[in-house]
Amino acid sequence: MTGHCPSGHLLRPAHQGSNPISDVWAIWAIELTAKYIVRAYRDPDDLEAQSNMILASSMAGMGFGNAGVHLCHGMSYPVSGMVCNYRPEGLKTDYAIVPHGMSVILNTPAVFRFTSMACPDRYLEAAGLLGAPISKTAYGLDEAGHLLASEIVRLINASAGHPQWFVSFGYTEADIPSLVDGTLPQHRVTKLSPRPASAEDLALLFKDSMRAW
């Protein structure tokens, strides 16, 4: 096996992909998020919910810090980098900004619908952890991505609601070519996608994300 090792530490992959250890952290993070995110958003003084969301964030970081992330994050960089005049409600800032969490979640439903065919059983598992009744209702594997996307949307709408997609951030379909161009160089994360995405695929994903959930 030593013949497959990198010749030096600088050539070691930054991320290893999913593995049993990263799965443990990810599952815990998803379960805590499903239980506490709505409470945490609605009540800043709910110490139990706030504390558990901080814990969930730390657990998620432990998981994807080793496994890596993919298209949702790669597509988020130009969204934040090309920001026009958007200023999040409640955030005191002297300049326009699309926070990283917002820029990632904008594309997540579309991305999960696109990538789910690579490992639909894992998408179904994640949907179940978020609250989908997969143990009581038969879902086909071809529905996995749509089901997971729907659960994410449900939690977002139950807590924060959300701006009307890219329109509220100042983007239109005319910006899609630039958004794609800003995503293509992000190989560190996009190459980890379970389903490869071409420039044409990315354009369709951004277009899909332009419309309301």
pLDDT per position as a tens digit, 188-200: 899 999 999 999 9
Task: Quote the pLDDT of residue 2.
Answer: 45
> Token pair of 30, please?
């998803």
R_g of the chain, CA atoms, integer Å:
18
Q: Count of residues for the chain?
A: 213
Q: Span 87-98, mean pLDDT?
A: 87
Question: Mean pLDDT across the chain, nearest whole number?
Answer: 88
Position 210 confidence tier, pLDDT thresholds 50, 70, 90? confident
52-56, 63-67, 98-102, 163-167 — most confident range: 52-56
Share of the chain above pLDDT 70, in %: 88
Check whether 57 has a pLDDT greater than 70: yes
pLDDT by residue (tens digit) across 110-165?
A: 999 999 999 999 999 999 999 988 765 666 777 899 999 999 988 888 877 665 56
SS3 10: helix
Cβ–Cβ contacts within 10 Å for residue 120, how many?
A: 19
Q: Span 46-62, mean pLDDT?
A: 97
Task: Quote the pLDDT of residue 161.
Answer: 65
Q: Report CA-CA distances (Å) from 19 to 16, 25, 26, 181, 209.
A: 8, 10, 10, 31, 29
